[in-house]
Structure 1
Amino acid sequence: MSVSERYRTAWEGFWGATSGAPGEAIWDSDPVLTDDPCLELLAPHADATLPVVDVGCGNGTRTRWLAGRFPRAVGVDLSRTAVDLARRADPKGLAVYEQLDVVDAAAVESLRERLGGDGNVHMRGVIHQCDPQDRAPVAAAVAHLTGTRGRALVVELTRAAAESLHHLTQTPAGPPPKLRRVLQHDLRPADAPDGEVPRLLRASGLQILAEGETTLAMTEHHPDGRRIDLPGHWFLAGRA
């Protein structure tokens, strides 16, 4: 099983039109300024001797942040172009980056073997924009990578974020440039209904150990200059 060709093409098109400059993508904000509190939630609950996998790493901004907190960080992304950008942005080799379709169970198992077994997982903003048929396999991949010892931090936009984005498209000037790029490439932010993410995680065999609301700061701004902050929800999951 693999993702649809539409979805793969959409992401290759988006990253292919990106230079890789920090902040060029609407979600590529500095972790210290954005969901840094969420990322900090993982460390106290995770086995720090295990590697961490950043699922949907994009150009690797958060993968490099995680590399300073775990002995080994691996960023994986569906887009080969995104992986190339991540590698170029990391000349010191702080992390490893691989192209991976997390809907492909065999490919996920191969990654798990290369990691040497259980690992921790960070996943920010992946399920909420996946095609509906791919969301359960993505959750299953997270569960498989964590195994029995790992922990997963999953951060997703809520439906309230979808409403905020819709309002931005209705301004007289239309959507701001970075949001326009997302929409032009047929990407669908905040498309998953509230409640689906925890249901999928539980169905994959994981328990929700903790959860809470958060705000995901974007690198784009409202017409009046205010930074766009989108409502989200975080879940710390694992097998008790």
Structure 2
Amino acid sequence: MSVTKRYRDSWEGFWREAPDGPGAVIWDAEPALTAERHLALFEPHLADPGLPVVDLGCGNGTQTRFLAGRFARVLGADLSAAAVELARRSDPEGRAAYVQLDATDPAAVRALHEQLGDANVYLRGVIHQSEPADRSPVAEAVATLLGAHGRAFLVELSEAAKRVLGELAGGPAGPPPKLRPVFSHGLAPAEVADAAFGDLLRAAGLAVLASGELPLATTEFTPGGERIELPAHWVAVAPDGARPS
């Protein structure tokens, strides 16, 4: 199985047109507001911090580069070749490695696991923007990459974010500038019901170690100058049957 051509083309078009530079994309908030906060929640559950870290759905690599400052080996992986190229250009020192990966392709995911061995996985905002048929394979990809010893941290928009995004898009001036490309490329955020995430994880052989709610910071602001944050939830997971760290 692999993602549909329409979905792949949508992401390629989005990242080809994305401006260079920090904060140009709506979800490209600085790590102090994203990965750093998430890592504080994730680190207590790592069984082996020495494992490679895979930033699955790395986009332009902003969070990947932050993680590379905290772990010995970090790999950013993304469906979009344009995103991977942008991530590499944005990392001239080569702090992390980057690879194009279709996470719904089990053979490709298994090959990456064979290359890396067991890994810890960071996944931010991938499942809620995946097409319905792709959500289970993405969760299964996480389980494959973890192997027996890895742990994963997943952050996804809550279903309440759909209402917030709808209000932003329906304002008198239309969607904020950084939100427009998301809609114009046919990407549909916050399309997964909150209750569905637990079922997806269990079906993939993943057990929840901890969970909570934490708004997802964006790089867009209201007309009054307030940063837009979207309702989101997080989970730390382990392979089912693994002993808690």
Query: What are the residue-to-residue correspondences of 1:1-240 with 2, within 5 Å?
Result: 1-46=1-46, 47-115=48-116, 117-239=117-239, 240=242
Give the TM-score normalised by the residue count of structure 1. Answer: 0.97
Structure 1 regions of 5+ residues with no counterpart?
none
Residues 34 and 215 in structure 1, CA contact (< 8 A), matched pair in contact too: no
Residues 35 and 63 in structure 2, CA contact (< 8 A), matched pair in contact too: no
Cα distance in 1 for residues equivalent to 2:20 and 2:148: 36
Q: CA deviation at 1:176?
A: 0.5
Cα distance in 1 for residues equivalent to 2:29 and 2:165: 17
Cα distance in 2 for residues equivalent to 1:27 and 1:205: 29
Q: What per-residue deviation string (whole Å, max 9, x for no partner) do you get for residues 73-126 of structure 1?
A: 0000000000000000001111000000000000001111110x2100000000
Q: CA deviation at 1:170?
A: 1.3
SS at match of 2:194: coil
Q: CA deviation at 1:21?
A: 1.2
Structure 2 regions of 5+ residues with no counterpart?
none
Q: Percent identity at matched positions?
A: 57
SS at match of 2:41: helix
Cα distance in 2 for residues equivalent to 1:44 and 1:69: 14
- The number of residue pairs the alignment matches comes to 239
Q: CA deviation at 1:35?
A: 5.0
Residues 129 and 190 in structure 1, CA contact (< 8 A), matched pair in contact too: yes
SS at match of 1:195: helix
Q: What per-residue deviation string (whole Å, max 9, x for no partner) do you get for residues 145-203 of structure 1?
A: 01110000000000111110000011110110000111011110111111212211111
Give the TM-score normalised by the residue count of structure 2. Answer: 0.95
Counterpart code for 1:114: Q
Cα distance in 2 for residues equivalent to 1:150 and 1:54: 13
Cα distance in 1 for residues equivalent to 2:176 and 2:9: 23
Counterpart code for 2:221: H
Residues 208 and 238 in structure 1, CA contact (< 8 A), matched pair in contact too: yes
- For the aligned residues, what is the CA RMSD? 0.9
Cα distance in 2 for residues equivalent to 1:157 and 1:39: 17
SS at match of 1:111: helix
Cα distance in 2 for residues equivalent to 1:119 and 1:55: 11
SS at match of 1:178: coil
Cα distance in 1 for residues equivalent to 2:194 and 2:49: 31
Residues 198 and 235 in structure 1, CA contact (< 8 A), matched pair in contact too: no
